[in-house]
Structure 1
Amino acid sequence: MAASAKNHVVVWMNYLQKSVEMGDYSVIGVIVAVSVVLLTFLVFGLLRQRQNKRRGVLILGNCDAGKTLLYTQLIYKKHNQTFSSISPNSGNYTVAESGKTLRLVDLPGHERIRQQMLDGHKDLARGVIFVIDSSSVQKEIKDIAEYLYTVLSDNRISNMSPPLLVACNKQDMSFTKGAKVIQALLEKEMNTLRITKSAALQDTSASNNNTYLGRRDRDFTFNDLKPMKIDFVECSCQEKADINAIQDWLAKIA
């Protein structure tokens, strides 16, 4: 079989040589076009294979946002009392419709260690869930936006462009903000952050590994973060959980 393949290559090389000698360069164009197609398929296949190796979904957010409660609802299908931790939780989540498995990783939200936690797990990210406490978002918006800004501007995250879901949690409580209001609050705050961080870098002539978020010619919006896709959903992770939108999103990215 190897000899047969070698003979085919020899025949094609002889044909190409004769065509060039006769001034027929059209065959070269055909070969170049076929080579480009084959190379495209090869690159796409390698990228798809690399993505398939990333089976992790990072669950991020500030302390008391409900990350670990969401994690236990997804993994154990029940409501467990949870406590703040400085260690990540991880477990396998199986998508009911397809049987595909994702590795959910609940990372601590403590400010002093969350960057370290992100750095240690971001290469696994097939997707990211960022959990927000909808009942206290108004007073915590600066810290929430700072954390989300750090995640989105991370150079590695930006290069991988995993889909990100902002889960607006605790919708069962009174006086909570809806997903559209939270999105607008975050966009306004992150636009301010982008201005201050850019100015600070110019003043100090410092360099960093972060990506500029959005377009430079207009105010920040999540829609300008393409190819990364950002979605907002409303949910509740309490005993009578309402996490269908999150489960649907996990099924979509699996």
Structure 2
Amino acid sequence: MEDDASAPTAPPAGATTTMLTPQTLTLASLSLAVVCLAILVFFTRRKSRTTGNLLLLVGPPDGGKTAILSTLVYEQTLPTHTSLQTNASTVALPALKKTLTVVDIPGHPRIRNQVNEYIADSKAIAFVVDASTVSRNGPAVAEHLHIILNALTSLPPSQALPSLLILAHKSDLLKSGTATSATSEALAVNRVKTILERELEKRRVSQYGGVGVEGLGEEGERTEMGGLECSGDKGVFRFDDWEGGEVLFFGTSVKVGGGEKGEMNGLVSLQQWMEDNA
């Protein structure tokens, strides 16, 4: 009996065959596109993390922003006055042989939104709160901070979020059972954090109910802003659960008109953060 020449030849033992169907090619193309997109986003975000070289000082008027700026720049606190102009100065970081530009943005309602002009190039935003008066000014301070939180979470996905620092400033004015500066700073941080969480939660609940929140910049103005989303239980606003990222708190103080050149006063924690993250 003759062999059939047209019969298919069996593959060798142990060999595998791959069928390239149109469906397989389509899936492979989609997978490759997803991988390429992920790589593109990764390197775009890395670039945005390395280009920011600004530290923005923001917050309500009379919180101490300009005094902090002069201390960081001149290592000496100079007398200051309320200004409606943005100030920018370069701070030297000798240990790193680097510099960091610090921008002081006034807190007046008419110009505080200038933060949006600098936020894309910032490494961090330091929100300065007068810890000695926040108990009575809580709603106004929270309204200003809400603007910052909204601006941060409104950045495009390719833009890495700048770090958010909240400075519980003038901590030396708080009275405690002991005289240590560390205790005063901890007391200031706890007070500022507690009051701001309470006031921001009020704003979140008002917006959730569809009534909007009152903007203190214009009489009778009501607005709706995002930036208060949290991952915790029932979405209650807590800085530890804020979806915009980590929020760091520092207790700070300066001696206006006093202190010798080279003395950082109560800004050691902020200065250390700058050196670690510049």
- Alignment TM-score, normalising by the size of structure 2: 0.71
Q: What residue in structure 2 maps to residue 236 of structure 1?
A: 253
RMSD (CA atoms): 3.0
Q: What residue in structure 2 maps to residue 246 of structure 1?
A: 270
Q: What residue in structure 1 maps to residue 104 of structure 2?
A: 106
Q: Which has the higher helix share?
A: 1
Q: Is the 8 A contact 1:168 1:179 kept in 2?
A: yes
Q: Is the 8 A contact 2:200 2:228 kept in 1?
A: no
CA distance, structure 2, for counterparts of residue 73 and residue 227 of structure 1:
30
* 1:183 and 2:183 aligned: no
Q: What residue in structure 2 maps to residue 161 of structure 1?
A: 161
CA distance, structure 1, for counterparts of residue 129 and residue 115 of structure 2:
17
Q: How does 1:1-254 map to 2 (within 5 A)?
A: 23=18, 40-115=38-113, 117-154=114-151, 155-157=153-155, 160-175=160-175, 177-199=187-209, 200-201=211-212, 210-215=226-231, 217-238=234-255, 239-240=258-259, 241-254=265-278
Secondary structure at 2:154 match in 1: helix
Q: 1:35 to 1:110 in 2, by over 3 A?
A: closer
Q: What letter matches 1:214 in structure 2?
A: C
- Alignment TM-score, normalising by the size of structure 1: 0.77
The Cα offsets for residues 72-130 of structure 1, whole Å up to 9 and x where unpaired, read as 11111111111111111101223233223222100001123212x22222222211001
Q: 1:37 to 1:207 in 2, by over 3 A?
A: same
Once the two structures are TM-superposed, the CA of residue 193 in structure 1 deviates from its matched residue by 1.1
Aligned-residue identity in percent: 24
Once the two structures are TM-superposed, the CA of residue 53 in structure 1 deviates from its matched residue by 1.8
Secondary structure at 1:213 match in 2: coil
Q: 1:235 to 1:211 in 2, by over 3 A?
A: closer
Aligned residues: 228
Structure 2 alignment gaps of length 5 or more: 1-15, 176-183, 214-221, 260-264
CA distance, structure 2, for counterparts of residue 62 and residue 207 of structure 1:
19
CA distance, structure 1, for counterparts of residue 85 and residue 42 of structure 2:
36
